[in-house]
Amino acid sequence: MHSDSLISTITRHTVLALSALIVIFPFLWIVAAGFKTQIDLLLGKFLFVPTWRNFESVLFNSGSDFLRNFANSVIVASTSMVLVLVVATLAAYSLYRLRWPSWVLHSLLAWSLVFHMVPPITLAGAWFTMFRSIGMDNTLSGIILAHTTLNLPMALWMMGVFIRDVPTELVDAASMDGARTPQVLRHVVLPIVRPGLAATGILSFIFSWNEFPVVLTLAQRQTATVPIGIGKYAQDNTVAFTEMAAASTLSMLPAFLLLLIAQRFIVRGLTSGAVK
């Protein structure tokens, strides 16, 4: 009996390790490629002498816009994340706590789900025309508004789950004590839904950081983000594989740091709905 349990445990851990390796391998390959020369990469060398030349070229080459792209992405992703969290939290609280008719709640959630399923590229042309007509074309503000719009449906659904699970007794008790809605949100609701805010914020940041087709339509050189900057290493006649790998490696850092900082909140946020 003990032997069967041991074999089962070893098998389970082996399968998990192999699954993790399958997921992690592409990232390891990209990171390793960033430290290779173009010749070593094309020859498929497994053992190589690491070089920083690709990272130096990406960061400090006079013809590289990667640092500008990186700064644009930080501004766009951070600002749109904040806007998404504010709007989604207020909307979810209104829908679930202010006693709207059920058809309003279900209609809005259904519409947000349908909107989330629409390919972003189909909206990019309309946004470009609209932003150009009001003088917001080729601006970070326009890209931020577009990313906020794209991520709101997902955030509304996620925050709705957490707002809905806040005990009604706590909200009613705070209201009976004379607390107004902003005070109830600040002192009662937000501390309880903090894991949900972290999970929703991280996902919103990552989706905005990785978004490509809308930025490709709305941005030019001055406002291009990291995905556009990485794509520029693939030209008609040549592809700078190693420099592209170095830029991709650097682009992983913000999301990776956010995941490390807010890991416990993210796990609680993504699992609490299922547990409840």
Which residues, in sequence order, are bridge partners of residue 234?
239
Query: What are 172-216's pLDDT values in tens digits?
Result: 787 777 778 778 888 888 888 888 898 899 889 999 999 999 999
Q: What is the DSSP string of 176-223?
A: HTT--HHHHIIIIIHHHTHHHHHHHHHHHHHHHHH--HHHHHH--TTT
The stretches of the chain forming alpha helices (DSSP H) are 2-34, 38-43, 53-60, 66-97, 102-117, 121-133, 140-164, 168-176, 181-184, 190-192, 194-210, 213-218, 226-231, 241-261, 263-275
Residue 14 counted as domain residue: no
How many structural domains compose the chain?
Answer: 1
Residue 187 counted as domain residue: yes
Please state the rounded mean pLDDT for residues 12-27: 89
Of 243, 205, 210, nearest to 66 by C-alpha is 243
Residue 201 counted as domain residue: yes
Q: Is the model's pLDDT at 233 over the cut of 60?
A: yes
Token duo for residue 198: 């972290």
Residue 158 counted as domain residue: yes
pLDDT class of 129 with cuts at 50, 70, 90: very high
pLDDT at 269: 54
3-state class (DSSP) for residue 123: helix
pLDDT class of 142 with cuts at 50, 70, 90: very high
pLDDT at 1: 46
Residue 213 counted as domain residue: yes
* Residue that has been written with the tokens 């309309």 in this structure: 126
Residue 205 counted as domain residue: yes
What percent of the chain clears pLDDT 90, i.e. is strictly above it?
A: 39
213 torsion bin: left (phi>0), alpha (psi -120 to 50), beta (else): alpha
Domain of 231: which CATH number?
Answer: 1.10.3720.10
Residues 6+ apart with CB under 8 A from 241: 33, 38, 41, 42, 233
Domain enclosing residue 138, as ranges: 64-275
Query: What are 69-98's pLDDT values in tens digits?
Result: 999 999 999 999 999 999 999 999 888 887
Residue 93 counted as domain residue: yes
Residue 9 counted as domain residue: no
pLDDT class of 274 with cuts at 50, 70, 90: very low
